[in-house]
Structure 1
Amino acid sequence: MEKRKLGSSDIEITPIIMGTWQAGKAMWVGIEDAETVKAIRSAFEAGITTIDTAEVYGKGHSEQIVAQALSDVRDRVVYATKVFANHLKYDQVIEACDRSLQNLKTDYIDLYQIHWPSGSFKSEFVPIEETMRALNDLKQQGKIRAIGVSNFSRAQIEEAAQYGRIDSLQPPYSLFWRKVEKDAMPYCVENNISILAYSPLAQGLLTGKFELGHEFPEGDNRRDNKLFKGENFVRAQAAIDKLRPIADRYNVSLANLAIAWLIAQPQTNAITGARHAKQIEENAIAAEVKLSPEDLAEIDAIGRTVTDPLENENLMWEWGG
Structure 2
Amino acid sequence: MRYKKLGTTSIEVSAVIFGGWQAGKESWVGIDDDAQIAAHRVALDAGVTTFDTAEEYGAGHSERILAKALAGERERIVILTKVSWNNLRREKVIEACERSLKNLGTDRIDLYQIHWPAGSFGSEVVPIEETMGALVDLKAQGKIRAIGVSNFDRAQIEAASRVGRVDSLQPCHSLFFRKAVEDTFSYCQENGISVLAYSPLAQGLLTGKFGRGHVFAEGDNRVDNRLFRGETFEKALAALEELRPIAARNGVTLANLALAWLVAQKGVCAIVGARNEAQARENARAGDVTLGAADLAEIDRIGRVVSDSLPPGLMWDW
- TM-score tier, shorter chain, comes to over 0.9
CA deviation after TM superposition for structure 1 residue 2, in Å: 2.7
Please state whether the residue corresponding to 2:146 is helix, strand or coil.
Answer: strand
Q: Which amino acid aligns with 1:314?
A: G
CA deviations 1:43-64 (Å, max 9, x no partner) are 1000001000000000000000
Instruction: Determine if the alignment matches structure 1 residue 80 to structure 2 residue 80.
Output: yes
What's the counterpart of residue 221 of structure 2? 221
Is 1:187 aligned to 2:168, yes or no? no
Letter of the structure 2 residue corresponding to residue 192 of structure 1: G
Give the distance between the partners of 2:25 and 2:179, measured in 1 at CA: 27
Are 2:274 and 1:281 aligned?
Answer: no
Cα distance between partner residues in 2 of 1:139 and 1:182: 30
In 2, Cα distance between equivalents of 1:73 and 1:101: 15
2:106 and 2:215 map into 1 onto residues whose CA distance is 40
Residue number in structure 1 paired with 2:101: 101
Between the aligned partners of 2:158 and 2:168, the Cα distance in structure 1 is: 12
**What is aligned with 1:29?**
29
Trace 1:24-173 onto structure 2 (pairs within 5 A). Answer: 24-173=24-173
Residue identity over aligned pairs, in percent, reads 63
Higher mean displacement: 260-269 or 107-116: 260-269
- Give TM-score scaled by structure 1 length: 0.98
Aligned to 1:313: 312
Deviation at 1:182, TM superposition (A): 2.2
Partners of 1:2 and 1:27 in 2: how far apart?
31
CA distance in 2, matches of 1:304, 1:212: 21
Cα-Cα RMSD: 0.7
TM-score for both structures, normalised by structure 2? 0.99
AA aligned to 2:158 is: E
Structure 2 runs not aligned, ≥5 long: none
Mapped pair 1:8 → 2:11? no
- Aligned partners of 2:2 and 2:203: how far apart in 1? 25
How far has the Cα of 1:3 moved from its partner?
Answer: 1.5
**Secondary structure at 2:175 match in 1:** coil
- In the alignment, what sits opposite 1:204? 204
C-alpha contact 2:149 2:170 (8 A) present in aligned 1? yes
Residue 271 of structure 2: SS of its match in structure 1? strand
Amino acid at match of 2:317: E
Letter in 2 for 1:175: L
Q: Is the 8 A contact 2:2 2:288 kept in 1?
A: no
The one-character-per-residue Cα deviations of 1:208-242 (angstroms, maximum 9, x if unpaired) are: 00001110000000000000111111100000000
AA at the equivalent of 2:223: R
- 1:297 corresponds to which letter in structure 2? A
For residues 86-138 of structure 1, give each alpha carbon's deviation from its aligned partner in whole angstroms, at most 9, with x where no partner exists. Answer: 10000000000000000000000000000000000100000000000100010
Any unmatched runs of 5+ in structure 1? none
Report the 3-state secondary structure (helix = DSSP H, G, I; strand = E; otherwise coil) of the residue aligned with 1:203: helix
* Residues 132-170 of structure 1: per-residue CA shift (max 9 Å, x gap): 010001000100000000000011000000000000000
* Count of aligned positions: 318
Corresponding position of 2:304: 304
